[in-house]
Structure 1
Amino acid sequence: MNLESSGASLARRRASPSRWRGRLLLAACIAAALIVAANLPAVKLLLPAELWRKVPPVVSLHPLVAVKMKTLKAEAAAKGIRIAITDGFRSETEQDALYRKGRSAPGAIVTNAKGGQSYHNYGLAIDFAIRAKNGDVLWDMAYDGNRNGKSDWMEVVGIAKRLGFAWGGDWESFPDYPHLQMDFGLSIPELQRGHRPPEDLRLAEERAQQAGGKA
């Protein structure tokens, strides 16, 4: 049986505290780095917002989206186009019911988004249609009610884009022609983690501009 020499055993015991101090120092450095990283905006978006603040439920359109919606209607009216807002904020329960259409419920498929997967669920999207002179609501993209030789629908889309909305008709995989949204640079996964655009109109305008809009 090989017995460790008393000198080697003593050296190992003396070195052991030094190794533990090194490990503790490394762990402290890693913890400090994580704390610093967690305070970086880009890293924070990967974490649930509930970690540092309470996230109230969304129950209506974002204030800036509501203002831009009113401006859209007013500017369209100035061109002789009446807009019908057919949808705005939509609860997750309502979204799930819409998702079931054409699947487990009668009707055609109208969305690929389940509850919590639509910008409507966070008050950041609206749907529109054109209201004819007789009051009928139209989804006819070729309709020219103001008789200026242009599609009323696309005139509205042009105004909306100038105001900072993104148009669902530009989507390649599942175009949604009545859909307009302002995402403020936030993805659906980030919104699901509780991140929200600022409520203050001035700060929201700045955020929208940083995200690439023209709000």
Structure 2
Amino acid sequence: MRGTEKLHPEVRRRAEKLVQLAMERFKLEVQITETLRTAEEQAALFAQSRKPLDEVNALRKQAGMAPIDEARNRHAVTWAPTASDSFHGYGLAFDIVVKSGRQVDWSNGCDWNQDGVSDWAQVGGLAAECGLEWGGNWTSKPDLPHYQAPQGWTIASLKARGMVAGRTVTEVLTA
């Protein structure tokens, strides 16, 4: 899902601040591409690069997602096999893309503002100021588009509390 309305309210505020600061400081247009994920969406994304294209696209169709081509199926999107194993599953994480008009560039060296510095690094450098963790800082499997604000939760504590993936923490706690 793309809508920020499905993020935890505090995570939404931080995401909006990140988008605003990227434009103000670096003249970079940031678009939020993923927020809360359902079990079906997470399964489809996890299958990418791990399953044959026809299986991936069948899962994507089941999740209401557009099909992908063979080139996109060569790249892993997530390391979490289920929505309950990802902060996306609880509305505590989001992904972005840095774009120029309608063009996007997913490469590590993306430099739309032509200042000689990776746009991913520039936006990622704003994460701490916004109260976010940036996936680009992870040492084992960096995830440049990923940002999260667990709000003191861990995946284990969310599961232990009986949180249901595909519903935000806010929805569960206020139900």
TM-score normalised by structure 2 residue count: 0.71
CA contact (8 A) 1:131 1:137 kept: yes
1:172 aligns with 2:104: no
1:88 aligns with 2:55: no
1:128 aligns with 2:96: yes
* Structure 2 CA distance for partners of 1:70 and 1:173, relative to 1, 3 Å: same
Which deviations, in whole Å up to 9, do the C-alpha atoms of 1:152-192 show, x marking residues without a partner?
A: 22111111221111111222222211111111222111111
Taking only the aligned residue pairs, the percentage that are identical comes to: 35
Alignment partners' CA distance in 2, 1:162 and 1:153: 15
| Structure 1 stretches lacking a partner, 5+ long | 1-58, 200-215
CA contact (8 A) 1:166 1:182 kept: yes
* Structure 2 CA distance for partners of 1:186 and 1:105, relative to 1, 3 Å: farther
Q: Which has the higher helix share?
A: 1
Which deviations, in whole Å up to 9, do the C-alpha atoms of 1:74-124 show, x marking residues without a partner?
A: 111113110021111111221112112223342233222122100100101
Which deviations, in whole Å up to 9, do the C-alpha atoms of 1:108-142 show, x marking residues without a partner?
A: 3322212210010010111111111x420121332
User: Paired residue for 1:153?
Assistant: 120
* Structure 2 CA distance for partners of 1:146 and 1:102, relative to 1, 3 Å: closer
Alignment partners' CA distance in 1, 2:134 and 2:105: 18
CA contact (8 A) 1:92 1:114 kept: no
- Of residues 115-124 and 91-100 in structure 1, the stretch that sits farther from structure 2 once superposed is 91-100
Which of 121, 132, 141 aligns to 2:108? It is 141
Letter paired with 1:65: V
Alignment partners' CA distance in 2, 1:191 and 1:118: 10
Query: What pairs with 1:39-50 in structure 2 (closer than 5 Å)?
Result: none
3-state SS in 2 of match to 1:159: coil
**Considering only aligned residues, what root-mean-square deviation do their CA atoms show, in Å?**
2.3
Query: What pairs with 1:165-204 in structure 2 (closer than 5 Å)?
Result: 165-194=132-161
Find the structure with the greater CA-based Rg.
1
* Structure 2 CA distance for partners of 1:103 and 1:151, relative to 1, 3 Å: closer
Runs of 4+ in 1 over 4 A off after TM superposition: 195-199
Alignment partners' CA distance in 1, 2:34 and 2:117: 25
Letter paired with 2:150: D
User: Paired residue for 2:8?
Assistant: 62
